[in-house]
Amino acid sequence: MFKSDFIKYLKQLKPDDWNVQVTDKWTVKDVVAHMVGWEAIDPAAIRESWRTKKRPWFYETDDYDIFNQKCIDKYGKYAPRQLIAMLEKFQALVREEINRIGEDNLRKKPRIFGWLFEREEDKGSHYNHHLEQIRNAIIKA
């Protein structure tokens, strides 16, 4: 499961690793803050989509720059260990929502909820994408 691989990798980073540039704009810490922000909205997105039977807002756009920057602004001020703890907390809340509704029920609606399971199962997942980015940046640093 790529979420646990992501966190496991983050836990072994050295303090200086968090300041390594991953992209022209983002450090390792920024990437993790971005991931925390996305994970933080997921429980509410699951509940709302289950209630309305509509896909989450992020299906309706391909411009995530503003949201991503808000995530970095909000969570980027936290220490690495706090970011990891928040990531674990929000992932647990996502799992609670999945369990509350029933994973089978959600999987029966892949058009609405497929994003929940792609991230865990797909090698091209959001988590795997950023894990590879961070690994490559740390190797090059």
The pTM score is 0.90
Render 22-51 in DSSP notation, one character per residue: SSSS-BHHHHHHHHHHHHHHHHHHHHHHHH
- Quick one: pLDDT band at residue 76, thresholds 50, 70, 90? very high
Q: Return d(Cα 89, Cα 137) in angstroms, integer.
A: 26
User: Mean per-residue pLDDT for 116-134?
Assistant: 76
Domain 2-140: give its CATH architecture.
Up-down Bundle (1.20)
Determine the pLDDT at residue 1.
42
Separation of alpha carbons 62 and 8, rounded Å: 29
As a whole number, the mean pLDDT across the chain is 91
94-120 pLDDT, tens digit each: 999 999 999 999 999 999 998 888 655
Spatial separation of the C-alpha atoms in residues 80 and 67, rounded to whole Å: 21
Q: Structural domain boundaries of the chain?
A: 2-140
Answer whether 17's CB lies under 8 Å from 71's CB: no
